[in-house]
Structure 1
Amino acid sequence: MTNKVTEFVAPYGTLPHVPDDVTLPQFILDSWHPTRPVNKNANPVLIEDSTGRGVHFSEIRARTFGLANEMKARWNIGEDQVVCIFSPNHVDYAAALWAVHRLGGIVTTANPNYTADELLYQLQLTNARAILTHSGSISVAEEACRQAGIPSDRIVVLDSPTGYSGPYCTLEGIIQVGLSKHPQYIERRLGPGEGKTKIALLSFSSGTTGRPKAVAVPHYAVLANVIQMAYYGQANEIYGSATRYRPGQVVLAVLPFYHIYGLVVVMHFYIFVGFSLVVMPRFTLEDMLKDIQQYHINHLLIVPPMVVLLAKSPIVKNYDLTSVTFCMSGAAPLSAELTRQYCERLPNSAIGQGYGMTETATAITFPQIDMHVATLGSGGQLLQGNTCRVLKSDGTYATYNEPGELFIKGPTLALCYFNNEEATKETFLYFDGKPDRWVRTGDEVMFNEKAEIFVLDRLKEIMKVRGFQVAPAELEGHLLHHPDVGDACVVGVPDEYSGEVPLAFIVPSHDAQERMKKDAAEEGRIKLALMKHVADHKVHYKKLAGGVYFVESIPKNPSGKLLRRFLRDKARELKVQAAAAEKARL
């Protein structure tokens, strides 16, 4: 059953030209675009938060060259070869990324909290040839590289800690050697239209099911998104008043650069519009507050758990946050109540939400440019160049203020899931026999007449824990390897701080059930063992923070598919019961 298609687009303006024959470093470091504001200030591009050291534009270009020069001379990194960056945020992260691109290579960014098994999976899937890692992650990188067959001389310490005397070369050392040599490479130049197919990034996402997938993001997609955000935000006075995105301001780069939100929106867009990025390696509330006060931060790009802390933590009042003029929250929905609480704490700050995903690289919507406090509950307004359809459960297309599943097309779509044709076909779709590609988001949304999006629910199974994607199937597969597990189903349960957290419903194995019959205390021991089983092998946000519950069976349909929604409802009931019990106890 179908009806006339309603398509949602930005209510005004047309996306300016997006160059399709340049790479990311050529666009950011070497060229000009009409949406880019002229920066007449002498502000550094990057600031190391712990030392205050500033890195200016000319230094970034030089360090990018030095690293590319020596990677070519030492390892012959070249066309479509993959280099992994396995590190928290660092002032050399951008130079490392762009150096690989200068050589025609591809970058895959990895979560520095990964276990060796998780990193190994990423290295093998992407066929990475070298790794740039942080000194605190050396042991994990060593083990993963050993199993992946990456030679030890291709492990580079990114952060060059004081007094480091380990066996691996440092990024600083490689850059200095590269700067001492004549050019060892001829920079890759793209032909007309090649930027649309030339892969820049293999960014990991859980997609809609299964283990994390490598999303192949072309150079053109990131360029297009930067231009979309700059145009919508009126960063250049040619296009608007330039009141929110003025060159010379300061943004806190606390979101991880390995995540597409931090990589595209914070790093590329904010460098493009002339801000200084204060680079925080890891988030703690107190460190963030200190940085806001010390560096007079103007823009905060954060996720809902950080908003919770800003709105509710008593230590916030100990710091001067009056420099903050704008806050953008993304990666998960922000409630209207939290927005109000944030405004009470930081009344000088505008606030709004954006919506995007790795597969759309990145932002599809942006906070309303003409509002101090964006429409409560809204995920922002559509950026120019994007087209959306909303498909209702009955197979007809939604119009304004009607809910349904979101489908997106636009200039920023990723190419595919790398080396995963089946998953690609599930997410990257074609409609009506036309050549336009669409991304199926798995999110239930609705749009109003202003092209503002409201994210209602996730139809797909992926959980969002502190803004990070967690695939239930990945945790279920891991739990099923444990001898005490006969069957498993993992669901997300609401959590005020994390948004949601994983909870596991477990059917104990026959042996486990026999042990529990003999000893009542065995149930508790098994639950703790299962939680440890996950915690020992998965990154911290995938831990079973929602707990473990034993059940007699996992509900499934006749074809064997998990009926996860029934257990989601059960999990909510358990949470309500636990809250009531706690209230009664007090």
Structure 2
Amino acid sequence: MTEYHVSPMPFDVPDDLTIPQFILSTDASSTRPTRPSHVPWLVEDASGRGIHFDELKARTSALANALHVKWAIGENDVVCVFSPNDVDYPVAVWAVHTLGAVVTPANPGYTVKELVFQLKATSASLLICHSACLKTAQEAAKEAGLSASRVIVVNRDGGPLSGVHTLEDLVVFGKSQSTSYKERRFVPGEAKKKLAFLSFSSGTTGTPKAVAISHYALIANVLQMAVHNRVADPHWKDKRMVPGDVAMAVLPFFHIYGLVVNLHYSLFCGMSVVVIPKFNFLDFLKSISRHKITHLFVVPPQIVLLCKHPAVRSYDFSHVKYCMSGAAPLSGELMKTVSKVLPNACVGQGYGLTETCTTVTMVPPHQRFATIGSAGQLLPGITARVVKADGTMAKQGEPGELVLTGPSMAMCYYNNDAATKETFINGWVRTGDEVIIKNNEVYVVDRIKEIMKVRGYQVAPAELEGHLLLHEDVLDVCVVGIPDEYSGELPLAFVVPQPKVASKLKCPQETLKLKKRLAKHVADAKVPYKWLAGGVEFIDAIPKNPSGKVLRRILRDQAKTMKREVVYEAKL
């Protein structure tokens, strides 16, 4: 049997710590760089205010106390965090974990229906939202059966809020009360099974599912990345991450890449994390320059803008020393171009999934410029197999589905045995990605799974198809992704119209009107990256095999040859 791995972990991953106990530890360790006391943990982008260890620790403890006193939040309760990036985002996460409760991060761009789905699927008992998302949060909480008193607001708009609990008020309250909670501590081995996050992913098929991630999995992945990059190796002179470096956190913390790599791993390495609530490219450039950012964790659309936007020529980014792109493939042409924009940076890709609690590959530590086409080298502790369609193991250089195991694997899909059995098999995770492996570097060839990647976000065709089928004019539908330089892929819907409207489609004006109605039907119910920016095409029948399975690849190939007609433009 052909298996691939670089090396085992050189030490045991602690299995008796919660995430906040691990991250907020100040104990000296051979695995962890020492952060100088003057180096802030977080930096608020707009104000430049630095937030140090003592403030983070105190706010985390105070919020945990308030959550316990007011709502008795404790063991296995689920708290939804519905917010853009904020300096109090990790405070909220760690406060919940301190009580033995579970965090489910939600996309702040969600519609009411999308948020209701997540609240119900996780049985969330408390909702922490940003003031910019308050209206959606309140409507969703009501529909999900959550009391209005259980909505907490991170108030960054500055205006007064009546009738709601604000996070700041709770921190003040928590500090004023004697400690009522007992910090959750694990017995050896317990961290491997104790839920920390219910993070949503579409897996290889279907609608979004809650991925059950343990405390141990995140801690293991942070340590795997640290060992791979030799951040605490006294003999490795050319370290990529050192205390005092400055990482930009523009990736959303609700996404597993932003949550694990950009937030927790960067903090572990002793870096300051500049927290940016929302991506705007011109502001993004200013922030890189103003804060002298050294580490960029980005997705391909941001690389495209760095390569092509004329405003970039006004900046000197020689202080950037590391740039990792993830969440979707990056072309060799873009890698070469961005290396000229960032002349002193190591440029490359990483690869990972929510189901693997993020990173399984990164740029090899000895490479300044990554191998073109490579998603990176397997991390220590990761073992990979490449499985061919007939179930046999592919040899080196042969394509097949990537199947992985290691200490950071998620446990299952929460309350979804059927989906779990398809993806989580005896400690191994089926990725749904077709790859080849050479010299322990992974090259992604294609996606076996149906999931599209739009600007780094997962979009499940089945979710959009199910919604389109609710429209009275749709008889059948198949959604595929079409290539797009900026977004990676865009959703395109092939629609079989109901007979009652099919005859009208001989008129170009009627055809365009129906396309716009169907696109709006999706846009009214879904977050913008799920909109039908690839268009709508009418066909006589959806191709299927004898057992009724949609032959999606046929339509995907057909879509590549078509001239795209934009009927509803997705917002950035």
Smaller-chain TM-score bracket: over 0.9
How many residues matched? 565
Counterpart-to-counterpart distance in 2, 1:453 and 1:362: 15
Deviation string 1:9-43 (CA, Å, 9 cap, x unpaired) is 01x46342100011000111136442111123511
Counterpart-to-counterpart distance in 2, 1:98 and 1:297: 25
What is residue 582 of structure 1 aligned with on the other side? none
The residue type paired with residue 23 of structure 1 is T
Matched position secondary structure for 1:183:
coil
Q: 2:54 aligns with which of 54, 58, 66?
A: 58
Counterpart-to-counterpart distance in 1, 2:26 and 2:423: 34
Q: 1:381 aligns with which of 377, 382, 388?
A: 377
Q: 1:484 aligns with which of 470, 473, 477?
A: 473
Deviation string 1:125-184 (CA, Å, 9 cap, x unpaired) is 000011111111111101110011111111111134312223211111100110111101
What is residue 299 of structure 1 aligned with on the other side? 295
What is residue 23 of structure 2 aligned with on the other side? 28
Preserved contact between residue 213 and residue 410 of structure 2 (Cα < 8 Å):
yes
Q: Percent identity?
A: 54
Matched position secondary structure for 2:247:
strand
Shift of 1:350: 1.3
What is residue 236 of structure 1 aligned with on the other side? 232
Unaligned runs of 5+ in 1: 431-436, 580-586
Q: Which runs of 4+ in 1 moved over 6 A?
A: none
Counterpart-to-counterpart distance in 2, 1:15 and 1:377: 29
The residue type paired with residue 89 of structure 1 is N
Shift of 1:398: 1.2
**Structure 1 position 438 matched with structure 2 position 428:** yes
Counterpart-to-counterpart distance in 1, 2:565 and 2:473: 25
What is residue 574 of structure 1 aligned with on the other side? 562
Counterpart-to-counterpart distance in 2, 1:165 and 1:96: 19
What is residue 17 of structure 1 aligned with on the other side? 12
Query: How large is the Cα RMSD of the aligned pairs?
Result: 1.4
Preserved contact between residue 104 and residue 199 of structure 2 (Cα < 8 Å):
yes
Counterpart-to-counterpart distance in 1, 2:362 and 2:163: 45
What is residue 554 of structure 1 aligned with on the other side? 542
Q: 2:360 aligns with which of 339, 360, 364?
A: 364
Preserved contact between residue 492 and residue 503 of structure 1 (Cα < 8 Å):
yes
Preserved contact between residue 100 and residue 106 of structure 1 (Cα < 8 Å):
yes
Q: 1:454 aligns with which of 443, 467, 492?
A: 443
Residues 65, 242 of structure 1: CA spacing in aligned structure 2 closer, same or farther, 3 A cutoff? farther
Counterpart-to-counterpart distance in 1, 2:163 and 2:519: 36
Give the TM-score, by structure 2 length: 0.97
Matched position secondary structure for 1:502:
strand
Counterpart-to-counterpart distance in 1, 2:317 and 2:225: 25
Unaligned runs of 5+ in 2: 567-572
The 5 A counterparts of 1:156-555 are 156-238=152-234, 240-241=236-237, 243-430=239-426, 437-449=427-439, 451-517=440-506, 519-555=507-543
Matched position secondary structure for 1:141:
helix
Preserved contact between residue 251 and residue 300 of structure 1 (Cα < 8 Å):
yes
Shift of 1:515: 3.4
Counterpart-to-counterpart distance in 2, 1:68 and 1:167: 21
Preserved contact between residue 160 and residue 170 of structure 1 (Cα < 8 Å):
no
Counterpart-to-counterpart distance in 2, 1:572 and 1:333: 18
Preserved contact between residue 8 and residue 381 of structure 2 (Cα < 8 Å):
no
What is residue 136 of structure 1 aligned with on the other side? 132
**Structure 1 position 102 matched with structure 2 position 98:** yes
Preserved contact between residue 41 and residue 248 of structure 1 (Cα < 8 Å):
no
Deviation string 1:453-482 (CA, Å, 9 cap, x unpaired) is 111110010000001000000000000000
Preserved contact between residue 196 and residue 213 of structure 2 (Cα < 8 Å):
yes
Give the TM-score, by structure 1 length: 0.95
Counterpart-to-counterpart distance in 2, 1:405 and 1:309: 32
The residue type paired with residue 323 of structure 2 is C
Shift of 1:578: 7.8
* More displaced stretch, 35-44 vs 98-107: 35-44
The residue type paired with residue 50 of structure 1 is A
Matched position secondary structure for 1:19:
coil
Shift of 1:516: 3.2
Matched position secondary structure for 2:550:
coil
The residue type paired with residue 206 of structure 1 is S
Counterpart-to-counterpart distance in 2, 1:159 and 1:302: 27
Counterpart-to-counterpart distance in 1, 2:348 and 2:183: 40
What is residue 38 of structure 1 aligned with on the other side? 34
Shift of 1:541: 0.4
Deviation string 1:239-297 (CA, Å, 9 cap, x unpaired) is 63362111011000000000000000111101011100000001111111000110000
* More displaced stretch, 519-528 vs 324-333: 519-528
The residue type paired with residue 136 of structure 2 is V
